[in-house]
Amino acid sequence: MINQSNKVINNSLTKLVNKSYQYGFSTNIEKDIIEKGLNEQTIKLISSKKNEPPFLLKFRLKAYKKWQTMNEPEWAHLKFPTIDFQSIVYYSAPKSQKKLKDLSEVDSELLKTFEKLGISLNEQKRLANVAIDIVFDSVSIGTTFQKELSEYGIIFASISEAIQDYPEMIEKYIGSVVPIGDNYFSALNSAVFTDGSFCYIPENVKSPIDLSTYFRINDQTSGQFERTLIIADKNSQVNYLEGCTAPQYDTNQLHAAIVELVALDNAVIKYSTVQNWYAGNEYGKGGIYNFVTKRGLCIGNNAQISWTQVETGSAITWKYPSCLLIGENSQGEFYSVALTNNYQQADTGTKMLHIGKSSRSRIISKGISAGNSKNSYRGLVQMTDKALNARNYSQCDSLLIGNCSNANTFPIISVQNSTTRIEHEASTSKIGEEQIFYFLQRGISLEKAIELMISGFCKEVFKKLPLEFAAEADKLLSLKLEGSVG
């Protein structure tokens, strides 16, 4: 089956070999913007523009109050100038925001943008076995396959739509996994989020196709604050994919998202991300500040949540997709490849909080640092007194390329009962000149050599990615590393 990821690969190979970041263009389009700056008025305006029910405005204002009392976290291994929250545009939407009946009604400039990104919104795309919700700056501009999915009882919509159509479900679940005051950026997001995706899989349904969100930041001064909420009812299953790109500006833009997953009894959610925000140039100028809170709640017995992420973009990444393992026998997984080059900084990892009896978690983290970048793994495995016979296995490997890159791991293990089993393995290695020379002497090119070694290093994570993502991820990593060795 032809799918759009193959198209992405072809695009990246043919036209983009000489370009380090192929998604760096911006789209000129008439926008509906709320003046930059953050106050109660901004929040009320966002809420009224979206015609939201009163409970949500209350939620937002409560979050805003909370946020004002909080401080930016400083514990991460990251260095960046203070963010001026008053100079950010909190709402930027392409004009002509009437409700679209059909994706063919999407503005032609926007359609072209997504064609260029390798994502086709027109009918041909129906060959692809993936339904997409597209978020452009602050709003969702369309969701595909909605009708087909509804035949299975699956709700897949932008969160704005869901707020209108299923307010009781939103009210019940929003903030239930990531509370408003969880952290500084979750409070900010809760106050100003503008769109995102919503998905509900009913009891006993296995989603027939993969669902996905594609995030695009276009505007130079706007921040993107989206929110994704996925609920998998009893015995249901869904694979969710997420991709992100942004134009190349020499200023930094803020992306502060929240993803909440809820898995009831026997439900399985697999959430995969290929994050390729603009990372700044080779001197570290520009790039996205990516502060994301992702958390999954395994509330039901035997519930499973699996996070897989390939983080290659952003100037700053601050992200810890986590699992709250409450149900008995519930399972949390975290598979991560984080690659940093030039002056990128990543502080990423996971939290596995074990509450349910016999809950299990598995953490596989692969960090690759090249150039002058800093790459840190930060993890917490917590076994509470109730989590009898719980188990965890963690493996954190770092790969250094060149002599100026930096890799750290900060694993924390906290155990409050004596019946648990925890294993932790870690390693650090380096791609050296001698390894490269060995390949070259055997006639294998530098590019191929790096690709082989990187994909060998990341094998355990890549095999967890959906097929269409895995090949793309492989290619992406080699492109990103071009010129960093030898």
Partner 1 sequence: MNSNNLLLEIKNLKVSIEDNIILDDLNLKIQKGEIHAIMGPNGSGKSTFSKVVAGHPAYSILGGDILFKGDSIIELSPEERSHLGIFLAFQYPIEIPGVSNEDFLRLSYNAKQRFFNQPEVDPIEFLGIVTTKMQLVNMSPQFLNRNVNEGFSGGEKKRNEILQMILLDSDICILDETDSGLDIDALKVISNGINNFMTKEKGIILITHYQRLLDYINPTYVHVMQNGKIVKTGSSELAKELEDKGYQWLNTD
Positions that interact with partner 1 (CB under 8 A)? 429, 433-435, 437-445, 448, 452-453, 455-457, 459, 486
Q: 23-47: buried (b, 16+ CB within 10 Å) or exposed (e) per residue?
A: beebbebebebbebebeeebbeebb
Q: Decide whether 16 or 440 has the Cβ nearer to partner 1.
A: 440
> What are the distances in angstroms from CA 478 to CA 60, 276, 313, 438, 449?
42, 13, 13, 19, 10
Nearer to partner 1, 419 or 445 (CB): 445
Q: Least distance from C-beta 338 to partner 1, angstroms?
A: 17
End-to-end CA distance of the chain: 38
Quote the CA–CA distance of 156 and 154 in Å, as a whole number: 6
340 burial level (CB within 10 Å; 0-12, 13-18, 19+): buried
- Token duo for residue 72: 């930016």
Task: Compute the least distance from the CB of residue 470 to partner 1, in Å.
Answer: 15
- Written in H, E and C, the secondary structure of 264-289 is CCCCEEEEEEEECCCCCCCCCCCEEE
Amino acid at residue number 95: K
Q: Is the Cβ of residue 25 or residue 437 nearer to partner 1 in the bound state? A: 437
- For residues 375 and 405, is the Cβ–Cβ distance under 8 A? yes
Query: Closest separation between CB of residue 231 and partner 1, Å?
Result: 38
On whether the CB atoms of residues 238 and 269 are closer than 8 A, the answer is yes
Residue number with CB closer to partner 1 (417 or 455): 455
Distance CA 218, CA 201 (A): 31
In the complex, the smallest distance separating the C-beta of residue 205 from partner 1, rounded to whole angstroms, is: 38
Residue (81 or 443) nearer to partner 1, CB? 443
DSSP code per residue over 316-330: EEEE--EEEE-STT-
Residue number with CB closer to partner 1 (45 or 446): 446
Cβ-based nearer residue to partner 1, 134 or 477: 477
CB 352 to partner 1: min, Å: 26
Contact by Cβ (8 Å): 454, 441: no
- CA quadruple 454, 432, 312, 443: dihedral, nearest 10: -50
State the nearest-atom distance from the C-beta of 474 to partner 1, in Å: 13
Query: Is the Cβ of residue 123 or residue 447 nearer to partner 1 in the bound state?
Result: 447
Instruction: Find the shortest distance in angstroms from Cβ 430 to partner 1.
Output: 11
User: Helix-strand-coil percent breakdown of the chain, rounded to 5?
Assistant: 25, 35, 40
Choice between 172 and 463, CB closer to partner 1:
463
Shortest distance, CB of residue 158 to partner 1, whole angstroms? 40
Shortest Å distance, C-beta 457 to partner 1: 5
